[in-house]
A and B are shown apart, each in its own frame.
Chain A
Amino acid sequence: MTDMERTISVVVNGVPREATVPVRWLLSDALRHGFGLTGTHVGCEHGVCGSCTVLVDGQPTRSCLVLAVQMDGHEITTVEGLSRSDHQGGQVLHPIQEAFRECHALQCGFCTPGFLTTIAAGLDARDPSVEITDEEVDELVGGNLCRCTGYANIKKACRHAAATMREGAKVATPAPQDEEATR
């Protein structure tokens, strides 16, 4: 390790990891080049498009606007970490991931991870038993750029996912709140 590098300890998608990173690396660099998590896409590298959005301690964060070394001790969730393993070793997608497919909310898919992480965090943080409003949907999708879809189906997917989560909230006994949402 040179003086231009630092070792950081982070939790990435639930797994504690250590990495020695150049001090000038962005979080997006560390995720993509350090951890091989290429689902996080870099669209502008100046914090406008939102493609590179990941969750830092549950909060949507543009990974091109923070340095990797700032992440020491923090927990990061990327698009690869939105789905969860079920008890049979299969993959359970987050409702917003299912909804994106169901509603044709993606075309080229490049901006999609940023939308998914942002919207997932927003949906997880709200009371699922309450019907989502148009204003909430606009807020969830309003900060990210997409050049393919014209956003209509992304908004539709938000409503679809919220409805799924509402159904889930009705059916299930009151579930413990999502870990990330409470942090």
Chain B
Amino acid sequence: MTTKFFGEPVRRREDARLIVGQGRYLDDIGPGAYAAAFVRSPYAHARVLDIDVSAAMDVEGLLAIYTYEDLTGPMAEPLPVLIPHPQLTAPRTGYPLVRDVAQHVGEPIVMVVATDRYVAEDAAALIEVSYEELPVVVGVDAAEAAVHTVHDDVPDNIAARHHQETGDVEAALAASAHTLSFTQYFERSASMPMEGKGVHARWDDADSSLRVYSSTQASTSVRAAIAAKLELSLEKVEVIAPDVGGGFGVKIVHPWPEELLVPMAARLLGHEVKWTEDRREHFVSSAHERQQRQEIRVGYDDDGRITALDVLVWHDNGAYTPYGIIVPINTATQLLGPYDIPVYRAVVNSVYTNTVVVTPYRGAGRPQGCFAMERTMDRIAQERGIDRALVRERNLIQPDQFPYDWGLTFQDGRPLVYDSGDYPAMMAKLKTLVDWDGFAERRAAAEARGKLLGIGMAPYVEGTGPGPYEGAHVQVLGSGKVLVSTGLTSQGQGHETVFAQLAAAELGVPLEDVEVTTGDTRRFGYAVGTFASRAAVVSGNAVALAARGVREKALRIAAEVLEADPADLEIDEGLVQVKGTPGASIPLRTVAVLSNPLRYAFDEAARQATQFAGPGDDSKPPVAVGDAPGLEHTDYYSPLRSTFASGAHAVVVEIDPATWEIAIEQYAVVHDCGTIINPMIVEGQVHGGVAQGVGGALYERMAYDRDGQLTNASFMDFLMPYASEVPDVDIDHQSTPSPLNELGIKGAGEAGVIPGSAAIASAIEDAVGRRIAAMPVSPTELYDLVRSDAERVINTSPHDSGAMA
């Protein structure tokens, strides 16, 4: 492989269309499509008694109304449990349209199709649904108490009891010199991409086939789900993820009810149908994440080294479990971070509530796990009177301990084995970057200005790039253009650019000759999807392998033409040449032409490959046995197990003791995702992750009231950070390549968000001297906290004057 392009901050290919308004997002497709709108449950828990559509029938432009009664065959069955797990003992999923009981506000009950969205909503507004309200369960505490149940047949509200351990934690706790136990809370937020979900479907009656566009992170699996639910043969369904306006996890869940219902309607009506989610719909019907109550017991020695860790988590999974227990597993396993914990037990009780489903949002259980671990480290530091950085350093896994096998099972069903890392070096870089040891002066200066300054830190380890696999197809055309396709989807990560970099580097062609397609089942049918920071690792390695296959074939064909040994050939700038022999060369595009023996010439280039064009070897068939025409190759990369990226964040907060406003003065990141394909894109991922981490720590929460109404279901009330809330980020990189894949890549997509709440909580605690045991924290909550009898903490940052509060 040439190193050209690999590792370079190449400008993005996709930007050319996006900066001039020529992107093609879901709602841009099918301007003549009928529009779907939904009647959704206004109650968090209610039995549907009657649906009266009579008033809606007179609306001019109405085309169809569908209720559960109209669903047949597999469509009338519950939606799939996508990721079954033996510990998911009471899985429940809804129906595409509510059958009899709505389990959260926003669950779809009726689908209306009309000539346009306004008309569809007019009709939807005239549909009268009568309900019997049922008792509502909101929050993990209510779910655990189980005074009321979400699902009648799950009396304890527990969907799953996820349990993993590495040894006898009770004995290890009993043998520990010191122990601590405490409880803390983490709130709900959500992916909240700027583009909501959306589906467009077109039924071809003559061909009995369906083309579906969906704003999804998993087009191949959406395709399989549609085929199964609508009882179509797989080859009659194609699914394309167009430009997708952000995902962050919410679009990995599938099939959303609309992804089945819109194609169903398109088929029944024989006309294009489209549904574009509006913002309120997104708030009340698309997935959220993150609420947990964490009960932690830890044993440690005089030096603050952990001897035993026992974690019980109550995890709110919302009304259903379509995505299994991936988030609980991530919390249970990724909580461990970069630390060498001798004995560990995690139990996560995943409980039902009458709220929107909880499925992965960037980080997917890891921010909560990091919060649990890092708050534990801070408490140990405080109890022992040791600097917080030092306590962490004493507990780190050392570079000579890799591969570090936890004896646990990760979310991909494979062993939790850290592949590589250098955590002590990472922490050293972080301390330098944020000037950890020089903080006392800064604090004193702030105090002189009447401000409270605090510093916090949080390292993390992130399992990235899980399998089972991704594939790629690379083809060189006679024009010299190189087509690359992979089934995995894109939501802004720059895949068109980084996969082009990989293919160009492997093939020795100019970057502008490479065209990348992602998430289009017409081009590549086998894929898993974009989640768990896996695209660069899994599709990236697949693209490299496929390009290498093309390269080998090209060298073989060129060697025959040039009468040279393939080992003596190289490809540079699209020219196959004999190393060190100027002039002995053949363009790759010509090799592509020659790779496909032709009978018919359709242009000048093709003439070269026709049967009378030149002397052939009459002793062999035109296409050798075992060979195939065309300069193309398909390959797959299936990782043995996940790679483990790592990083550490440090935050300095300044708090105004008059208003208790929390301002982030400095945000420092050390980031290690192994070998980097495009540093510009990696830094962009870190920036975006940090912004979401800050949002989750200080602003964002889903405010459900006791009745299960989401009281802040708009951008006016759910506070996503604007530029004014996001700090500048100082980034330092470290690279410990993964030994598990040839490119040495680890994932980078989610990292930035993981330690945000942990680091910010630590910094606030350091500033105000009060225990922060719940996130996010608002100025009002901070004000209440410092005026309450809440536990005071001993300040352990490198300055011991204590806090003013």
Taking A79-B21, A106-B15, A112-B19 as contacts, is the C-beta distance between A38 and B27 under 8 angstroms?
Answer: yes
How many B residues touch the partner, as a band?
35 or more
Write the nearest CB–CB distance from A25 to chain B, whole angstroms.
8
- Which of B42-50, B83-91, B425-433, B723-731 participates in binding chain A? B723-731
Chain A residues whose CB sits within 8 angstroms of the CB of B279 once the complex forms: 43-46
Contact A154 B22 (CB under 8 A): no
A112-B19, A149-B687 as given contacts; A107 in contact with B28, CB under 8 Å: no
Residue A22 lies at the interface, judged by CB distance under 8 Å to chain B: yes
* Bound CA–CA A86/B24 (angstroms): 25
Contact check, B19 vs A106: say whether CB atoms are below 8 A apart: yes
Closest to A78 in B: B21
Partner of B687 from the list A93, A145, A153 (CB cut-off 8 Å) is A153
Is B448's CB within 8 Å of the partner chain A?
no
CB contact between A152 and one of B12, B20, B492, B726 (< 8 Å): that residue: B726
Q: Is the CB of B687 within 8 A of A152?
A: yes
Q: Residue-by-residue, is A27-64 near B (CB-CB < 8 Å gives 1, otherwise 0)? A: 00000110011111111111011010000000000000
With a CB–CB cut-off of 8 A, which chain B residues contact A146? 194
A32 to chain B, nearest CB (A): 7
Contact B723 A93 (CB under 8 A): no
The interface residues of chain B lying within 8 Å CB-to-CB of A36 are 31
**Inter-chain contact B720/A147, CB cutoff 8 Å:** yes
Which residues of B (682-735) have their CB < 8 Å from a CB of A?
Answer: 683-684, 687-692, 714-716, 720, 722-724, 726, 728-729
- The interface residues of chain B lying within 8 Å CB-to-CB of A149 are 684, 687-688, 691
**Bound: A32/B23 CA distance, A:** 13
Whether the Cβ atoms of B21 and A147 lie closer than 8 Å is no
Q: Which residues of A contact B724 (CB under 8 A)?
A: 138, 142
Stretch of A65-73, A96-104, A124-132, A163-171 that contacts chain B? A96-104
Q: Which residue of A lies closest to B725 (CB)?
A: A151
Q: Are the C-beta atoms of A109 and B716 separated by less than 8 Å?
A: no
Chain A hits for B193, CB < 8 A: 108, 110, 147
A101-B12 contact given A46-B715, A48-B716, A108-B492, CB 8 Å threshold:
yes
Residues of A within 8 A of B28 (CB): 32, 38
Selected interface stretch from B238-246, B468-476, B652-660, B787-795: B238-246
Chain B nearest Cβ from A140, distance in angstroms: 9
- Chain A nearest CB from B716 CB (Å) reads 6
Q: In which size bucket is the chain A interface?
A: 35 or more
Cβ-defined partner of B494 (8 Å) among A43, A100, A107, A110:
A107
Shortest Cβ distance from residue A118 to the other chain B in the assembled complex, whole angstroms: 12
CB distance from B635 to the nearest CB of A (A): 28
Closest to A33 in B: B31
A41 and B687 contacting across the interface, CB-CB below 8 Å: no
Which of A38, A106, A138, A148 has most B Cβ within 10 Å? Answer: A148
Does B12 lie within 8 Å of A104, measured CB to CB?
yes
User: Counting CB contacts under 8 A, is B736 at the interface?
Assistant: no
Q: Does A80 contact B (CB under 8 A)?
A: yes
A98 nearest in chain B by CB position: B19
Q: Are B491 and A108 within 8 A (Cβ)?
A: yes
| Contact yes or no, B723 A108, CB < 8 A | no
A144 at the interface (CB under 8 A from B): yes
Q: Which of A4-23 touch B at CB < 8 Å?
A: 22
Contact B11 A142 (CB under 8 A): no
Complex formed: what's the CA distance from A144 to B492 in Å? Answer: 18
Interface presence of B118 (CB below 8 A): yes
The yes or no answer to B66 lying at the interface (CB within 8 A) is no
List, in ascending order, chain B residues with CB within 8 A of A155's CB: 723
Q: B20 to A151, Cβ gap below 8 A?
A: no
B681/A104 in contact, CB under 8 A = yes
Tell me, in angstroms, the Cα distance from A19 to B584 when the chains sit together: 63
Q: Is the CB of A108 within 8 A of B21?
A: no
Q: Does B195 contact A (CB under 8 A)?
A: yes
Interface: B16 (CB within 8 A): yes
Contacts of B688 in A (CB 8 A): 107, 147-150
- Quick one: which of B11, B192, B684 contacts A107, CB cutoff 8 A? B684
Q: How far is the CB of A84 from chain B (nearest CB, A)?
A: 11
Residues of A within 8 A of B683 (CB): 104
Residue in A100, A109, A150 with the greatest tally of chain B CB atoms within 10 Å: A150
B699 CB to nearest A CB, Å: 12
Q: How far is the CA of A44 from the CA of B245 in the complex (A)?
A: 13
CB of A39 within 8 A of CB of B118, answer: no
Residue among B20, B118, B492 with max Cβ neighbours from chain A (10 Å): B20
B280 to chain A, nearest CB (A): 9
Q: Considering residues A79, A101, A151, which has the most beta carbons from chain B within 10 angstroms of its beta carbon?
A: A151
Q: Are A145 and B715 in contact (CB under 8 A)?
A: yes
- For A104, list chain B residues within 8 Å (CB): 11-12, 680-681, 683-684
Whether the pair B21, A40 counts as a contact (CB closer than 8 A) is: yes
Mask, A110-145, CB within 8 Å of B = 1, is 111100100000000000000000000010011111
Cβ of B524 within 8 Å of any chain A Cβ, yes or no, is no
Of B19, B25, B491, B684, which one neighbours A101 at CB under 8 angstroms? B19
A120 vs B523: C-alpha distance when bound (angstroms): 38
How far does the Cβ of B501 sit from chain A's closest Cβ, in whole Å? 14
Contacts A93-B20, A138-B723, A152-B728 given; does A110 touch B245 at CB 8 Å: yes
Pairwise interchain contact A141-B723, C-beta atoms closer than 8 A = yes
| Among B11, B245, B680, B691, contact of A151 (Cβ-Cβ < 8 Å) | B691
A113 CB to closest chain B CB (Å) equals 6
Q: Could you say which residues of chain A place their CB within 8 Å of the CB of B195?
A: 41, 43, 108, 110
| Given A46-B716, A107-B684, CB of A147 within 8 Å of CB of B192 | yes
Q: Are A109 and B492 in contact (CB under 8 A)?
A: yes
| A39: chain B residues within 8 A (beta carbon) | 20-23
A residues near B691, Cβ cutoff 8 Å: 147, 149-151
Q: Which residues of B contact A153 (CB under 8 A)?
A: 684, 687
* B residues 515-573 in Cβ contact with A at 8 Å: none
Give the distance to chain A from B198, nearest Cβ to Cβ, in Å.
11
C-alpha gap A108/B251 in the complex (Å): 14
A145, B722: Cβ atoms closer than 8 Å: yes
A51 touches B723 (CB 8 A): no
7 tightest Cβ-Cβ pairs between the two chains A and B: A39-B21, A108-B492, A110-B245, A109-B18, A150-B691, A150-B687, A107-B492
26 CB-based A-B contacts, threshold 8 Å: A24-B118, A33-B116, A39-B22, A41-B194, A43-B279, A45-B278, A45-B279, A49-B194, A82-B20, A91-B20, A100-B19, A104-B12, A106-B18, A108-B247, A109-B14, A109-B243, A138-B723, A142-B723, A144-B722, A147-B720, A148-B194, A149-B688, A150-B687, A151-B687, A151-B691, A153-B687
A33-B116, A93-B19, A97-B20 known; 14 other A-B pairs, CB under 8 Å?
A: A33-B31, A38-B24, A38-B28, A39-B20, A39-B21, A43-B194, A104-B12, A108-B194, A110-B25, A110-B195, A111-B245, A138-B723, A144-B722, A150-B729
